[in-house]
Structure 1
C-alpha cells in the first residue's frame, strides 16, 4: 500500500512498509506473467569478441537483482549496429587489458541505438536457459547476486535516447521473465556501490523503468523502495551537513558547513578504506575519482538510532534533516535506519 509523505511524518516519524535493499527478492508468481518476447541479442561471436582468458563462472542458481549501469562514455550520435559492436569491443578491451578481468565485466550491453549485445561470454545461452547465472564483474562485492546491463552513454545531466530506453524495457522484462525477478528488484549500480552510475537522470528514471517492465510482464507495479542518497564533490545542502556531523561523530575533523569539499571527500574515502569498502566505477570514457563519494556503502557505517533528547553529533545530523523539512521531533519517536533513509530521500 502506498504511503504519502504527509502520512510518513504526521505526528513525528513513522516507518513505512516499503521494501529495502537487502530484503529477499520477491519472485513473480507462476501464472501472473504474460509472455515477454525475447529481444534480439547479438552474441560475442557476432560482434567479434576476443576469447575469454579464463574460465567463465556459471553459478547453479538465478540472480536476485537486475542492475542498470551507464558506460559513462561519450553520448555518440552513431546509432548503427556497427557502432554497437565497436562499443562492445572497446569495453572488452578496457576490462581485459586495463582492469585485468578475464572478459567483459557486464553480462549485457545496450547501445544508444537500442542494439543489445552479449557482454561476458555465455551470458545469452545461460539467460535463455533461465535457471543458472553467469557471474560477471560489474558490481563490486555483489557479482554473485546480479545480472548487469551497461547502457552506452553518460546520463548525469542528459536523458537516454528513446531507442535505448525502449530496448532496455524489453530486455529487462525478458530477464525478469526468464529468472522470475520481480520489477521491484531492478536496481542501479549506485544501490550497491558508492558510484554515480548509472547517472543522475537514468537513476531517477528507475521507478519509471520498474513500472514499464511490470506492464510488459503483466504484473502489478511495484511499491517504492528505500535507498541511500549519493553525495559528491560540489553538493551543498542539508544532507551534506548531516553527513559531516556523522563523520565528526566518527572522529573526523571537518566543518559541518553543508558544502561537500575536499575535506569531506577525504574523510569519506578514509572511512571507506578503513572499512574495506570497494569503489568500482563503470567502464568510462572519462576519468573520475569516486573513492570519496558518499553513498550506499557510506551511510550504514555512520547512522545509528537516535531518540528525542539525545545529544552529540549524530543527534545534530538528525536535527539538521528534521529542521530542513519543517518538522518536529515528537518526544515518543525514534529515528531508526529506515527513517534515516526517509529523511535523506
Structure 2
C-alpha cells in the first residue's frame, strides 16, 4: 500500500490518491483539511500496569493509512464501566496476546472500554501518535499492519450495539488519530475490510458510515463516500446468490465444490485451503478470545478467486446488490 504525507498535501490543497488493498481512492485534499481535534483522555501503559514487551517495539518512519475499528469479543458486554475494569481488560488483552498469541505486546495500539475509558495498548503508541509522523507497528490486522492503526472496542457487537459512552469515546479517539495523521474519514475501516473476520461485529460495522460522518463533523470536513462497495463477508451456513457466485469462482480455480448457494463443509474446506495456500492470517478478531473463523470468505479471499481481468467495481456492485 502506498504511504504518503497527507499533512503536506493538505497544506498545499492538492489532489491525492491512496492505493491499497481496498482500491484506489482519489479525493481533494483541500476538501478534507481540518482544524484539528483535541486529544481525549488516554491512559498510558504505565497507568494500567502493563508488562514490559517481550521484544523491540517497531516504529516505522511513515504515517498509517487506515484507522481500523475492532471488537474484543471477550469478556462480552459487561456492565462494569469503571476505570479499574478498563485497566483489568487492558491487562487481560496483553496477557492473551503475549502468552497465547506469542506477540511481543498487545496487538492493538489503543483500547476503548464499554465505560468510555481509552487506554494505550502497545507500548509507545501514545508517544508516537502525539508526534504525528510515525507509526507503531501492531499485530491487529493480518498482512496489513504496516498501514493500519487499530482500536479494540471492549465487547461483542455481532447483535448488540455499543454503549453510548463507548461510542462517544470512539468518535473522539478516531477524530484525534485522523487529525494527527491527516487521515480522511473515508479511511476509517473495520477489521473485516482487510481480513475474513466477523470483527468488529455486524452492528458496529454497520455504524461505520455514522462514525465517518461524526468524525468528519469534528474535523470540520465532509465525509466522502468510498468509491467502491466493500467485499461481503460469507460464513459457513450462509445461503444465497453471493454464495453461489463464490462457489462458481472457486470451481473455476479448481476446487470441487457444489454450486448450490449453500456454504457447506466442502466450500468451507476450499476457502480454508485457499487461504492457507496464500499465507493469509486468520482468527485475529477478538482481543481475548480464540474465535474460530476458519473458512470465512471475506475481503482478503475474494481477490484470490476473481477471474483474471474481472472488473472489481462491477463484481463488488453485483455482490452488494
In the alignment, the residues of structure 2 paired with residue 271 and residue 249 of structure 1 have an alpha-carbon distance, to the nearest angstrom, of: 13
Instruction: Normalising by structure 2, report the TM-score.
Output: 0.88
Residue 237 of structure 1 corresponds to: 240
**2:123 aligned with 1:121, yes or no?**
yes
Residue 57 of structure 1 corresponds to: 58
**2:315 aligned with 1:343, yes or no?**
no
Instruction: Say which is worse superposed, 233-242 or 165-174, in terms of deviation.
Output: 233-242
Unaligned runs of 5+ in 1: 1-18, 307-334
For the pair shown, the structure with the greater C-alpha radius of gyration is 1
Contact 1:136–1:143, Cα closer than 8 Å, also in 2: yes
In the alignment, the residues of structure 2 paired with residue 144 and residue 27 of structure 1 have an alpha-carbon distance, to the nearest angstrom, of: 24
State the shift of 1:242 in Å: 1.1
Contact 1:25–1:182, Cα closer than 8 Å, also in 2: no
Residue 36 of structure 2 corresponds to: 35
In the alignment, the residues of structure 2 paired with residue 167 and residue 64 of structure 1 have an alpha-carbon distance, to the nearest angstrom, of: 21
**2:229 aligned with 1:226, yes or no?**
yes
Contact 2:247–2:259, Cα closer than 8 Å, also in 1: yes
Residue 3 of structure 2 corresponds to: none
Considering only aligned residues, what root-mean-square deviation do their CA atoms show, in Å? 1.9
CA spacing shift, 1:255–1:235, aligned 2, 3 Å: same
Number of corresponding residues = 299
In the alignment, the residues of structure 2 paired with residue 202 and residue 141 of structure 1 have an alpha-carbon distance, to the nearest angstrom, of: 23
Instruction: Normalising by structure 1, report the TM-score.
Output: 0.82
Give the 4+ runs in structure 1 shifted more than 6 A: none
State the shift of 1:70 in Å: 0.5
In the alignment, the residues of structure 2 paired with residue 251 and residue 340 of structure 1 have an alpha-carbon distance, to the nearest angstrom, of: 20
Residue 71 of structure 1 corresponds to: 72
| Secondary structure at 1:234 match in 2 | coil
Unaligned runs of 5+ in 2: 1-18
Residue 155 of structure 2 corresponds to: 153
Contact 2:111–2:152, Cα closer than 8 Å, also in 1: yes
Contact 1:183–1:211, Cα closer than 8 Å, also in 2: yes
Residue 82 of structure 2 corresponds to: 80
Contact 1:65–1:145, Cα closer than 8 Å, also in 2: yes
State the shift of 1:284 in Å: 4.7
**2:243 aligned with 1:268, yes or no?**
no
Residue 98 of structure 2 corresponds to: 96
In the alignment, the residues of structure 2 paired with residue 122 and residue 287 of structure 1 have an alpha-carbon distance, to the nearest angstrom, of: 26
| Secondary structure at 2:90 match in 1 | helix
State the shift of 1:280 in Å: 3.8
In the alignment, the residues of structure 1 paired with residue 125 and residue 100 of structure 2 have an alpha-carbon distance, to the nearest angstrom, of: 22
Residue 110 of structure 1 corresponds to: 112
CA spacing shift, 1:44–1:179, aligned 2, 3 Å: same
Contact 1:60–1:133, Cα closer than 8 Å, also in 2: yes
In the alignment, the residues of structure 1 paired with residue 128 and residue 26 of structure 2 have an alpha-carbon distance, to the nearest angstrom, of: 20
| Secondary structure at 2:70 match in 1 | strand
| Secondary structure at 2:46 match in 1 | helix
In the alignment, the residues of structure 2 paired with residue 30 and residue 124 of structure 1 have an alpha-carbon distance, to the nearest angstrom, of: 28
In the alignment, the residues of structure 2 paired with residue 49 and residue 27 of structure 1 have an alpha-carbon distance, to the nearest angstrom, of: 41
| Secondary structure at 2:211 match in 1 | helix
Contact 1:70–1:197, Cα closer than 8 Å, also in 2: yes
CA spacing shift, 1:58–1:27, aligned 2, 3 Å: farther
What is the correspondence of 1:1-345 to structure 2 with a 5 Å cutoff? Answer: 21-23=22-24, 29=30, 32-73=33-74, 74-224=76-226, 225-304=228-307, 336-345=311-320
CA spacing shift, 1:219–1:99, aligned 2, 3 Å: same
Residue 321 of structure 1 corresponds to: none
